[in-house]
Amino acid sequence: MAVKKAALTVIKSDAAISGKHRTSAQNLTQVPNYPKKLVIYQLAASPFWWVRYYADGKILRRSTKETDKRRAFAFAKDFYDEVNYRQRQGYVLNSRAGFEQCANAVIEQQDAKVQRKEMSEMMQQNDKYRLHKEVLPYFREYDLKNIDYFVIEGFINKLGKDKLTPPTISNYVGLVRKILSYAQRKGFIQAVPQIPKVKKVDAPRGWFTPRQYYQLWKCAGALVGETWEVRKWTNAKGEEESFVCERQTEKPKRATALSKKIAASKLMRRVQMTADLYNLIVFMKNSFIRPTDIKWMQHKHVEAIRGEHTYLRLSLPTSKKHDKPIVTMEKAVAVYERQRAMYYSEDKKENQAKPDDYVFLPEYSKKDKRGNALTSLQRQFGVVLSKTGLETGARGEERTLYSLRHTCIMYRLLYGDGVDLLTLARNARTSPEMIDRFYASHLEGEMNIGLLQSKRNKMKKPTD
């Protein structure tokens, strides 16, 4: 249970306390050999002694958590020393000098790092999201001094119950560590508490075999222009689950199993299927890019190269500290041109693609709306996965839009002729280690049986 409003809580006067908690002159006890402003007292609603001290024009109070008067005196003396130390250091004395204040200060510091190009804007946005989504709601009411190993462990357990993956939990804990480190540097706590380790278990996303990939883009093409609904219902076991169905514009003439299921369900969202997704599926399978690259990719980042080899050179914004251009497979060129032709007529000057126009779903033209563009594509892809029954892989691994990047890399590992791991990793803006852990982990010996059974040609004996 969180410790409510820790630190040095400020009250205007005893009269500000409700009648249930009001103190009186009869039960105020001065701490011996200390200033008269330092007293302990009891409240009708609490079994513990409380300490009160007047400093900087404020009345500061805190529960001693002690029922013994002698130990309450000892606590009051420590409280007095703490208040004076904070005054000497110029620290604020009220509860604002707590976890939330330190968290906001960390975010401000990181904003400055983004300006200096020492930190990516994406990492900063992720930290802001984590802070307001889970971190502040859990830690806001804790006294910084009361945050220890077990409090953080409780936070980790809470995230686990919310079904977050170990890598995601580790990111949340990393943000908590940053905030506590800042609190230590400011002198709010003496040391950063020991933090539980979150064991990271690699969970590679699923990829698509050629047959499954064919199913995906064929289905995506067939659904263009349709509106599908994501609905939630309670199954026979009493468990909530979601399903997708085509939007019902008319009431069916006769009841069917599906119509009964729809009637008993609740609408979560409607999803408009677009040709952008159809093109995106092919583009990602041939370009090595991440879904977040799609969000920010503009026409100025794309250059078509035609020569001995035909490909796109993608000079995308920095992602995960990688800034080198990506070169695509030849098929990506035709897909890009098809996508551009959907929105622009290159033979008309007034309707040509501008460098700053976004490639996919360009109607989301404002920077702060590009997240909505990616969400729309992800939701459309979710409908296609549900419709084709490809939500999970053979081993139960989850499939998302990111799985198309995995598919692209897997196809190079399986079908590329002599592609070395370093070249592949650099072009995909990752490391050989990550390729091995998250992409090549799907490789099995049988997939490259020809290579395993191949033999070198016998070397000819040198002749004079």
Q: What is the pLDDT of residues 276-303, one digit of tens each?
A: 999 999 999 999 999 999 999 999 999 9
How far, in Å, CA of 332 to CA of 283, rounded? 5
Above 70 in pLDDT, residue 64? yes
Between 204 and 353, name the one with better pLDDT. 353
At residue 202, the pLDDT reads 60
Domains and CATH numbers, the chain: 9-89 (no CATH), 99-186 (1.10.150), 227-272 (no CATH), 275-447 (1.10.443.10)
Q: How far is CA 71 from CA 38, 43, 76, 77, in A?
A: 15, 17, 9, 10
pLDDT tens-digit readout, 424-453 = 889 988 888 877 776 665 555 455 555 544
pLDDT tens-digit readout, 134-167 = 999 999 877 788 899 999 999 999 999 988 888 8
Between 255 and 227, name the one with better pLDDT. 227
pLDDT averaged over every residue in the chain: 84
Percent of the chain with pLDDT strictly greater than 70: 84
* Residue partners of 432: CB distance under 8 A and separation at least 6: 421, 422, 425
The values of phi and psi at residue 459, to 5°, are -75, 135
pLDDT tens-digit readout, 109-139 = 999 998 998 888 878 988 999 999 999 999 9
- This prediction has a pTM of 0.63
User: Could you write out the three-class secondary structure of the chain?
Assistant: CCCCCCCCEEECCHHHCCHHHCCCHHHCEECCCCCCCCEEEECCCCCCEEEEEEECCEEEEEECCCCCHHHHHHHHHHHHHHHHHHHHHCCCCCCCCCHHHHHHHHHHHHHHHHHCCCCCHHHHHHHHHHHHHHHHHHHCCCCHHHCCHHHHHHHHHHHHHCCCCHHHHHHHHHHHHHHHHHHHHHCCCCCCCCCCCCCCCCCCCCCCCHHHHHHHHHHHHHHCCCEEEEEEEECCCCCEEEEEEECCCCCCCCCCHHHHHHHCCEEEEEEECCHHHHHHHHHHHCCCCCHHHHHHCEHHHEEEEECCCEEEEECCCCECCECCCEECCCHHHHHHHHHHHHHCCCCCHHHCCCCCCECCCCCCCCHHHHHHHHHHHHHHHHHHHHHHCCCECCCCCECCCCHHHHHHHHHHHHHCCCCCHHHHHHHCCCCHHHHHHHHHHHCCHHHHHHHHHCCCCCCCCCCC
At residue 455, the pLDDT reads 57
Mean pLDDT, residues 44-67: 86
Q: List the one residue out of 313, 405, 305, 300 whose CA is nearest residue 362.
A: 300
For the four alpha carbons of 58, 62, 68 and 73, in that order, the dihedral sign comes to negative
Integer-rounded Cα Rg, in Å, for the chain is 31
60 pLDDT band, cuts 50/70/90, is confident
